[in-house]
Amino acid sequence: MSKTLDVVNPFSLEVIGSVQTSDWDQIDAMMEKAYRLFNNRDAWLPAYQRMDILKKTSRLMETRFDELAFQIANEGGKPLVDARVEVARAIDGVELCVREISQMTGREIPMDLTEAGAGRIAFTHREPIGVVIAASAFNHPLNLIVHQVGPAVATGCPVIIKPAPDTPLSCMSFVEMLYEAGLPKDWCQPVVCSNDVAEQMITDPRVAFLSFIGSARIGWMLRSKLAPGARCALEHGGAAPVIVSEDADIDKMIPLLTKGGYYHSGQVCVSVQRVFAPPTKAEEIAKKLAAAAAALKVGNATDPTTDCGPLIRPPEVDRVEEWVREAVDGGAKLMTGGKRLGETTYAPTVLLDPPADARVSSQEIFGPVICVYSSKTTAEAIQAANGLPFAFQASVFTKSLETALQTVSRLDANAVMVNDHTAFRVDWMPFAGRRQSGYNIGGIGYTMHDMTQDKMAVIRL
């Protein structure tokens, strides 16, 4: 039976909207529609129609730019200045889907390399993989939906999208714009449901592809339960490391680390978390980071002057508070912050030399906390950076090309930024976690490839 789910502003906890939830019977009907739609090949949308729908969608998003940005801030707690960037990226992402459709090409396969193949010609083309289930996260409530739904629409896959229950409004707005742009509703169906119903949906044999962004514990569990033949892409978190060399320009580095660590109050899977620096530099870096962090304004994300918004739920503030207290009790030096500012906010925090076994050092913080460590050598720093069971993006600060390239080669990360923070991303680059941080590759073009499969025709002459 459907129920109403209230959506709240995560700073004030005031109700700002509501959505209807779905039970299994309703979702089963949605999935059957999607499954039958895919299996009726005469109903597939040709490329020019998909391109036209996505072009119209991007134009609709442009006309509602300010409304979408405010909605992101209001339901997700991302400061307006960053919410506006997210909307711009989401519009670019939809347009990128359009461009990538023309790149969905096949190739000729040579047949006469042996006598057995002689007298034949062969070629491949890309086909949609089938029904896509996409489960999304709260921290980029519009752009993540674009990254999951846009490629499905572009490749011609029916998609059922489950937004995070904390931030469903941006998803609903995007889907409604797809409909307004001409997408038949059965091709994209949004759903909000309980976790047990979501698991039943994701593990259903009608699912061809799962796109999951969220908790590693849940993502890997779901992958283990997928129906035979179903493929997936998982995007989880990390504890992004930064290697600082002796010759790094600290004053140029601090603003970048501040942005990379406190953007969206650290609720980003590639946020700056662990900074490894020479002993002669570590305390200086921690002090300058602390000064920058202390200057950030914490408040309601809908206030244009806010730098850091709330954490998504009050229990997350409790968790961050507990982890920081544990680190300080274990010997970490608290440089700034280290306290909750209210029921929903936590002060931007800098810790110097927390214990290696503290949770702030060994798990993803997903909060406004940066840890600075004294490392005797670069090799020691890299060993510590690589020492966790997850790996995503990393960075190195140095003036030496040799040091930069050596560090890039030795860090276990999908991407290593040189003289930039770990949270840098553009939407066409490969974006992926290694080991426990993810499976398969994100980025619009890469996702579109995963949502299609090769079909080969072999013609005997």
User: DSSP letter at 116?
Assistant: G
- Residues of the chain above pLDDT 90, percent: 95
Burial letters 304-319, b for 16+ CB under 10 A, else e:
eebbbbbbbbbebbeb
| Tokens read off for 85 | 């960037």
Domain covering 4-236+437-460 assigned CATH 3.40.605.10 in the classification:
yes
pLDDT category, 432, cuts 50, 70, 90? confident
Give the pLDDT of residue 2.
67
Alpha-carbon span 194 to 207, nearest angstrom: 18
The pLDDT of residue 280 is 93
Residues 346/337, Cβ–Cβ less than 8 Å? yes
Task: Note whether 279 and 61 are within 8 A (CB).
Answer: no
For the chain, the average pLDDT equals: 96
Give the domain ranges of the chain. Answer: 4-236+437-460, 240-426
Alpha-helical (H) ranges within 64-107 are 65-76, 80-101
- pLDDT, tens digit, 9 for 90 and up, residues 351-388: 999 999 999 999 999 999 999 999 999 999 999 999 99
Residue 31: pLDDT over 90: yes
CB neighbour class for 356 (10 Å; exposed up to 12, middle 13-18, buried from 19) = exposed
Strands 434-435, 390-391: pairing kind: antiparallel
Q: What is the pLDDT of residues 193-227, one digit of tens each?
A: 999 999 999 999 999 999 999 998 999 999 999 99
Q: Which CATH architecture has domain 240-426?
A: 3-Layer(aba) Sandwich (3.40)
Helix (H, G, I), strand (E, B) or coil at 367: coil
pLDDT, tens digit (0-9, with 9 covering 90-100), for 64-116: 999 999 999 999 999 999 999 999 999 999 999 999 999 999 999 999 999 99
Which residue has better confidence, 2 or 379?
379
d(CA 159, CA 156): 9
- What is the C-alpha to C-alpha distance for residues 460 and 101, in angstroms, rounded to an integer? 30
